[in-house]
DNA sequence: CCCTTGCTTCGAGCGCACTCCAAGGAATTA
DNA sequence: TAATTCCTTGGAGTGCGCTCGAAGCAAGGG
């Protein structure tokens, strides 16, 4: 559904579905009046303006609108995309893979299958990572318990 | 309990406790006959020999025994340490922080409090990371659902 | 005795994801 | 209008965590 932000060819409904899934992702300005400078977007996303320009250069951002003088004017759909990219980034997905996903989006609806596959694979990796981290928590708990015991013992004597 | 690998001053029992918590961490050779070359350890841990030497250089490894010709001879306690470091690495902890922990271990028993604190902080971070990832899984599920629906719709027509 | 394999050191190089710089144009505020 | 602040570009630089290369020593097999 991010594809539509580029191709404008996907039904509006998909976008609503997304907002609803991502939780509290209210747009700062309503549809139609959504124009943001790069520094505003930097503020919203926590990314630097440098990074936003870099994302565009490497193809991780769809082409962003420009003002008549050539300055970037981000729109709500760009914020949505960045929000999703942020999620992918959290998974530890390499930027190159995110670019690959962006390319699939640009390529149009015929890539649904490949996009889905990529997301499914990512999901699997994330679940594995969660399991790994839970295992690590167990080890940490054990060690923390040891230090607590040691502390107790030293108090007891 | 990693301290003892360096100071040899902590009761044996602690080590057993550790092995048991980490699950299947059987040592390839029994205590007393535990001598491993760097490439053996590389094989066990998945780290490269280069990385193992680098760990030692930056202070992330306790001093490793040497053969009479100067070659490293790793012991079971070194494997244990590397196993734990691997866990810390999985959490995304920067190497510098792991080195800090190693320094605390080298500094002796008086640093129990600081070590515990560091582990508690790490534990908190790991739990936060798990929550983040779970949130991401929800987003992925939503998107995957969208692609599944799109596929269905295209089949239906 | 030579050959291969594996180890040693130090220091340089790499891939990733930014991060920053310089020089100059554009928008806003006094 | 002037000053200030923000934006543009291309390219260079940074920090992290390795990763590799070169030169040389040591041990075992044919």
Q: How far apart are CA A139 and CA B1, in angstroms?
A: 12
Over the stretch B139-157, which tens digit does the pLDDT of each residue have? 999 999 998 887 777 776 5
Residues 127-146 of A with CB under 8 A from B: 127, 129-130, 132-144, 146
Q: How far apart are CA A154 and CA A126, in angstroms?
A: 42
Helix (H) or strand (E) holding B70: none
Over the stretch B101-139, which tens digit does the pLDDT of each residue have? 999 999 999 999 999 999 999 999 999 999 999 999 999
Over the stretch A6-45, which tens digit does the pLDDT of each residue have? 222 223 223 333 333 344 568 989 988 889 999 999 999 9
Which one has a higher pLDDT value, B69 or A101? A101
pLDDT band at residue A156, thresholds of 50, 70 and 90?
Answer: low
Q: How far apart are CA A23 and CA A19, in angstroms?
A: 6
Beta bridge partners of B153: none
B3-156: CATH class: mainly alpha
Instruction: Point out the residue among B18, B115, B144 whose CB comes nearest to the CB of A120.
Output: B144
Q: What pLDDT is attached to residue B157?
A: 58
Q: How far apart are CA B10 and CA B89, in angstroms?
A: 25
Yes or no: domain A4-156 corresponds to CATH 1.25.40.10: no
Over the stretch A111-122, which tens digit does the pLDDT of each residue have? 999 999 999 999
Sequence spans of domains, chain A = 4-156
Strand D: which of residues 97-126 in chain A lie with Cβ below 7 A? none
Is B1's pLDDT higher than 80?
no
Q: What pLDDT is attached to residue B18?
A: 39
Instruction: Count other C-beta atoms under 10 Å from residue A118's C-beta.
Output: 20
Which residues of B are less than 8 Å from A21 in CB distance?
138-139, 142-143
Is B100's pLDDT higher than 90?
yes
Q: Which residue has the tokens 């994302």?
A: A55
Share of chain B above pLDDT 70, in %: 82
Q: What pLDDT is attached to residue A91?
A: 93
Which residues of B are less than 8 Å from A22 in CB distance?
139, 142
Q: What is the mean pLDDT of residues A69-84?
A: 94
- Range with the lowest mean pLDDT among A133-137, B3-7, B39-43? B3-7
Q: What pLDDT is attached to residue A103?
A: 95
Q: Do B127 and A112 touch (CB under 8 A)?
A: no
């Amino acid at each position: 559904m991010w594809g539509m932000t580029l191709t404008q060819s996907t039904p509006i409904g998909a976008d609503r579905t997304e907002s609803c899934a991502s939780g509290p992702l209210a747009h700062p300005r309503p549809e139609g009046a959504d124009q943001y400078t790069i520094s505003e977007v930097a503020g919203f996303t926590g990314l630097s303006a440098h990074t936003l320009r870099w994302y565009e250069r490497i193809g991780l951002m769809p082409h962003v609108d420009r003002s008549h003088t050539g300055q970037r004017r981000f729109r709500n759909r760009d914020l949505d995309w960045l929000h999703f990219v942020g999620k992918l980034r959290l998974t530890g997905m390499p930027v190159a893979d995110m670019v690959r996903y962006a390319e699939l989006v640009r390529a149009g609806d015929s890539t649904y299958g490949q996009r889905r596959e990529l997301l499914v694979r990512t999901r699997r990796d994330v679940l594995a990572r969660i399991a790994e981290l839970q295992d690590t928590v167990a080890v940490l708990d054990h060690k923390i318990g040891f230090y607590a015991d040691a502390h107790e013992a030293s108090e007891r004597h």
